[in-house]
Amino acid sequence: MSAQLQEQAATQSGFLYNARRQLFQSVPPIPANVRLDGKTVLVTGANVGLGLACTRHFLELGAARLIMAVRSISKGEAAAALFKKEFASAQIDVWQLDMELPSSVQAFAARCKADIPRLHVAVLNAGLGKEFFVRTAEGKQRETTLQVNYLSTVLLAVLLLPLMKPNSSESDKAPGRLTLISSDASLGEKLPAVPAGSTILDTMDDSSKFEGYQQYARTKLMLNMFTAKLASDVVSPSEVIINTCNPGATKGTGAISAVQSKIILAVMTLLFAVLGRTPEDAARAYVHASLVLGAESHGSFTDWLVRCWPLFMYGDKGRRATDRLWDETLAELGFANIVDVLKTVKG
């Protein structure tokens, strides 16, 4: 449905529109008929901030089993211990996942495949913004924000898809629900100009042109682009409904820590203090994206409603950039046989 909202995109990508939306949009309650009884749910970055708040929402909705994917097992177990007291009937598992390391993503996905008969809901929330350029330790040693927010997130999303399709042993044939967390920072962003002979990913990996908050915004734009292509060309909404979700400005998440300008950081800190939602309220957007919105949200950018894509994604230029990014990403993730995985889920 985001694909049909191009005429509104220029307005909705602007700062004033999003400031008004943040200030005046009500945060609706989770509908009373939404339940997760008997369902298995996964949340990445589940021990802090929005991920922790989302985890609580899902447990309150009766999730039978909840996988908390965390970088630090000790911190994850500390968070889970409180939930286990409150939600004694739920099975709560804490599994390690380091999104900086592709090998950790693969190992986590393999563990899911071996241990989870059917994954009904997954919210890929783990993300970050780096103030300075830092490379990861594996493979092509990509810049950390690029690796975590985009490459590892889409790798995990694809590897989980086979587990999320309805299977013949279940009476419930409802589609799986996969939500990837984006940001309204992506709405007015563009990908960088790519020099001749280079690629989008290599251009994003150029330390000489790095600016922390812009890198964050661009990786979230890329996430929207890949998700739209995945939904339109590969996965049927009758099997897995895939969307991205924007929680909006949220207090205490550290999303603006990558801003390098002290003046801009001061202004944004004030705006977040005035306009920012609590993590509990913002995480309801996750619940709506992954449980309330239906097939109309497939491939779309959402909060509590289906919204416009970032303006850059529309038109011939946006489609060409999306196709190019898709091809580059499949090549980059070839070590995980991602093309073969996509063939198994193609609708």
**Residues involved in catalysis:** 216, 220
Residue 138 CA to residue 132 CA, distance in Å, equals 19
Q: Cite the beta strand spans of the chain per DSSP E.
A: 40-44, 65-70, 91-96, 121-124, 176-181, 240-245, 301-302, 306-307
Length of the chain (residues): 347
Burial string for 116-147 (b: 16+ CB within 10 Å, else e) reads beebbbbbbbbbbbbbebeebeeeeebbbbbb
Query: Is 160 in contact with 122 (CB distance < 8 Å)?
Result: yes
Query: Is 143 in contact with 204 (CB distance < 8 Å)?
Result: yes
- Name the region of 141 (left: φ>0; alpha: ψ -120 to 50; beta: rest): left
Amino acid at 83: F
Q: Is the dihedral of CA 116, 31, 278, 23 positive or negative?
A: positive
Q: Give the C-alpha distances (Å, rounded to integers) separating 56 from 38, 47, 240, 291.
A: 16, 10, 23, 15
Burial string for 266-290 (b: 16+ CB within 10 Å, else e) reads eebeeebeebbbebebbbbbbbbbb
Q: The tokens of 215 are what?
A: 């890198």
Non-local (6+) Cβ contacts of 211 within 8 A are: 260
Residue 317 CA to residue 339 CA, distance in Å, equals 25
Q: The tokens of 16 are what?
A: 């004033």
Non-local (6+) Cβ contacts of 113 within 8 A are: 162, 163
